[in-house]
A and B are shown apart, each in its own frame.
Chain A
Amino acid sequence: MEIPYIVEPRPDSGLANGKLGIWLFLASEVMLFGALFSTYILLRVGALEWPHGELNVWLGAINTVILICSSVTMVVAWAQLKMNKFAKGRLYLIVTAVLAIVFLVNKYFEYAAHFSRGEGPWHSTFLAIYFTLTGLHGLHIIGGIVVMAYLAGPGAKLWRRNPDQYANRVEYTGLYWHFVDLVWIFLFPVLYLL
Chain B
Amino acid sequence: MDTTAPGTAHGHELAHGHDHAHEELGFWRKYVFSVDHKVIGIQYAITGLLFLLFGFTLMMVMRFQLAYPGHPIPFIGSWFGPANAPGGVLLPEFYNQLGAMHGTIMVFLGVVPLAVGGFGNFVMPLQIGAPDMAFPKLNMMSYWVYFLGGVTMLASFFQTGGAAQSGWTSYPPLADIAPGQTMWLIGMVFLITSSLLGSVNFITTIVQLRAKGLSYMRLPFFVWAQFVTSFLLLLAFPPLEAAGVLQLMDRVAGTSFFLPSGLVISGKPLTVAGGGNPLLWQHLFWFLAHPEVYVLILPAMGIVAEIIANNTRKPLWGYKALVYAAVFLGFMSFIVWAHHMFMTGMGTTISAFFQTTTMIISIPSVIILTAMLLSLWGASIRFTTPMLFALAFLPMFGIGGLTGLPLGLAPSDIHLHDTYYVIGHFHYVVAPGTIFALFAGVYYWFPKATGRMMNETLGKIHFWGSFIAINFVFMPMFIQGLGGMNRRMYDGGMQYAHNAGLLKWNVVIGIAAWVLGLAQLPFIVNFFGSIKWGALADKNPWDATTLEWSAPSPPGHGNFLTEPVVYRGPYEYSVPGAATDFTPQFEPERA
A residues contacting B by CB (< 8 A) are 1-5, 8, 10-13, 15, 17, 20-21, 24-25, 27-29, 31-36, 38-39, 42-43, 46-47, 120-125, 128-129, 131-132, 136
Contact = CB atoms under 8 A, between A and B. Distances in A.
Interface in B238-255: 238-239, 241-243, 245-246, 249, 253-255
B280 interface: yes
A164 to B, nearest CB: 15
A35 B238 contact: yes
B159 to A, nearest CB: 23
Contact of B235 (A11, A28, A38): A28
Which of B3, B134, B208 gathers most chain A CB within 10 Å?
B208
Question: Which of B3, B204, B207, B253 is packed against the most chain A CB atoms within 10 Å?
Answer: B204
Given A28-B234, A120-B253, 18 more contacts: A3-B132, A3-B134, A4-B7, A5-B208, A10-B6, A17-B134, A17-B208, A20-B204, A24-B199, A24-B204, A31-B239, A32-B242, A39-B284, A43-B276, A43-B280, A121-B249, A122-B255, A124-B273
Given A17-B208, A125-B256, A1 B273 contact: no
Interface in B130-170: 131-132, 134-136
A35 B243 contact: yes
Interface residues of B, number: 56
B24 interface: no
A123 B273 contact: yes
Contacts of B13: 1-2
A9 to B, nearest CB: 9
A128 B273 contact: yes
B81 to A, nearest CB: 35
A12 B284 contact: no
B2 interface: yes
Given A3-B209, A17-B204, A24-B203, A35 B275 contact: no
B272 interface: yes
A123 B4 CA distance: 60
Contacts of B208: 4-5, 10, 13, 15, 17, 20
Given A20-B203, A132-B245, A125 B276 contact: yes
B184 interface: no
19 contacts: A1-B14, A1-B131, A3-B134, A5-B6, A5-B208, A17-B204, A21-B200, A24-B199, A25-B196, A27-B234, A38-B283, A39-B280, A42-B280, A122-B254, A125-B257, A125-B275, A128-B255, A128-B257, A132-B246
B499 interface: no
Contact of A5 (B209, B276, B280): B209
Contacts, number: 151
A43 B4 contact: no
Nearest to A132: B249
Interface string B209-253: 100000000000000000000000011111101110110010001
The 10 A-B pairs at the shortest CB distance, nearest first, are namely A122-B254, A1-B558, A35-B242, A35-B239, A32-B238, A4-B7, A128-B255, A31-B238, A125-B275, A17-B134
Contacts of B15: 1
Contact of A43 (B2, B203, B275): B275
B234 A24 contact: yes
Nearest to B236: A31
A147 B238 CA distance: 22
Given A4-B10, A17-B204, A43 B277 contact: yes
A8 B131 CA distance: 17
Contacts of B3: 11-12
Given A1-B558, A25-B200, A39 B242 contact: yes
B253 A31 contact: no
Residue picked from A31, A121, A122, most chain B C-beta under 10 Å: A31
B245 A136 contact: yes
A47 B275 contact: yes
A13 B206 CA distance: 11
Given A35-B238, A38-B284, A132-B246, A3 B136 contact: yes
A25 B142 CA distance: 14
B235 A125 contact: no
B253 A122 contact: yes
Interface in B8-58: 10, 13-15, 20
Contacts of A8: 7
B557 interface: yes
B1 interface: yes
Interface string B465-482: 000000000000000000
Nearest to B133: A3
